[in-house]
């Protein structure tokens, strides 16, 4: 399960090692290329990780169409040269970038945006391969939600390691009503990718106390770990099938 891989990878302390682990995990399930990009609210100060060297040789990363056309919600979209006809607002310079990515083997892809209202930074992942549109859609349709959860945890860890501020949190789900206020706060933070150390700092608790709240919260929710907490918080299995357009 990708989210379980994310729980292991997020313990890494080096950005290059983390990125190598992310790419390896994605390649195991059939995605040959990936990029992660985030920018400030003014589309400046881009942070970029990418498997395609010189992809942005003729276009600044801040002008990537992913940032301008996909990063308005949590929707997982299918993009790339294979699906470009679905996006009539793409500019000629953006078309050029998309075509260059396709020639490098990123022909069909998932756009997995990471943006929360009020956050200073936004961005996310583009993950794909050289498949034609129909083959890509049929092969990976069922993995979209799991991919979104994986990307959420990895996005936050990348932002942590490059020094970006933590993203704000949405409300916790109604299932958390059975938890104490502290249990709900701790489990919600962990489910959204905060490390135990960050959760301890945010809640003004010791790491040991955070672990205790997490264990009791997981027990009440009938789950075993933060991967399952992330699936619960983000509605795994029901709400985020990929959309075109």
Q: What's the pLDDT tens digit per position in 117-131?
A: 445 778 999 999 999
Do 145 and 199 belong together in one domain?
no
DSSP codes of every residue in 65-125: HIIIIITTSS--EEESGGGGGG-TT--HHHHHHHHHHHHTT--EEEEEEE--TT-SEEEEE
Do 68 and 157 belong together in one domain?
yes
Assign residue 149 a region (left: φ > 0; alpha: ψ between -120 and 50; beta: otherwise): alpha
pLDDT above 50: residue 1: yes
Residue with tokens 């983000």: 234
Number of structural domains, the chain?
Answer: 2
Tell me which of 89 and 162 has the higher pLDDT: 89
Assign residue 43 a region (left: φ > 0; alpha: ψ between -120 and 50; beta: otherwise): left
CATH number at residue 56: 3.30.450.80
C-alpha 136, offset from chain centre: 19
Which domain range does residue 182 map to?
A: 174-233
Q: For residue 166, which of 194, 139, 186 has the smallest C-alpha distance?
A: 194
Reported confidence tier of residue 242, pLDDT bands at 50, 70, 90: very low
Average pLDDT over residues 84-99: 92
pLDDT above 90: residue 41: no
Do 178 and 144 belong together in one domain?
no
Last residue of a domain, one of 139, 161, 183: 161
Last residue of a domain, one of 161, 182, 215: 161
Q: Please, are residues 216 and 183 in contact by the beta-carbon 8 Å criterion?
A: yes
| SS3 (DSSP) at 130 | coil
Reported confidence tier of residue 62, pLDDT bands at 50, 70, 90: very high
The tens digit of pLDDT for each residue in 177-210 reads 899 999 999 998 888 778 788 888 889 999 999 9
Is 240 a domain residue? Answer: no
Is 187 a domain residue? Answer: yes
Name the phi and psi angles at 77, rounded to 5: -110, 155
Burial class (CB in 10 A: 0-12, 13-18, 19+), 145: buried
């Amino acid at each position: 399960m990708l989210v379980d891989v994310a729980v292991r990878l997020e313990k890494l302390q080096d950005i290059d090692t983390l990125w190598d682990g992310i790419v390896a995990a994605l390649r195991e399930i059939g995605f040959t290329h990936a990029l992660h990009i985030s920018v400030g609210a003014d589309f400046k100060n881009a942070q970029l990780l990418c498997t395609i060297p010189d992809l942005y040789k003729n276009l600044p990363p801040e002008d990537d169409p992913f940032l301008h056309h996909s990063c308005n919600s949590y929707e997982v979209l299918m993009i790339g040269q294979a699906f470009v006809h679905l996006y009539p607002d793409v500019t000629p310079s953006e078309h050029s970038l998309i075509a260059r990515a396709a020639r490098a083997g990123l022909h069909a892809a998932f756009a997995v945006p990471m943006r929360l209202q009020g956050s200073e930074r936004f961005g996310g992942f583009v993950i794909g391969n050289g498949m034609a549109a129909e083959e890509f859609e049929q092969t990976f349709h069922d993995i979209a939600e799991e991919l979104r959860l994986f990307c959420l945890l990895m996005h936050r860890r990348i932002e942590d390691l490059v020094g970006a501020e933590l993203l704000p949190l949405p409300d916790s789900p109604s299932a958390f009503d059975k938890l104490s206020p502290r249990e709900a706060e701790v489990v919600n933070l962990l489910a959204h990718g905060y490390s135990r150390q960050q959760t301890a700092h945010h809640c003004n608790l010791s790491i040991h106390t955070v672990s205790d709240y997490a264990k009791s919260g997981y027990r009440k929710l009938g789950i075993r770990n933060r991967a399952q907490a992330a699936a619960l918080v983000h509605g795994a299995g029901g709400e985020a099938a990929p959309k075109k357009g």
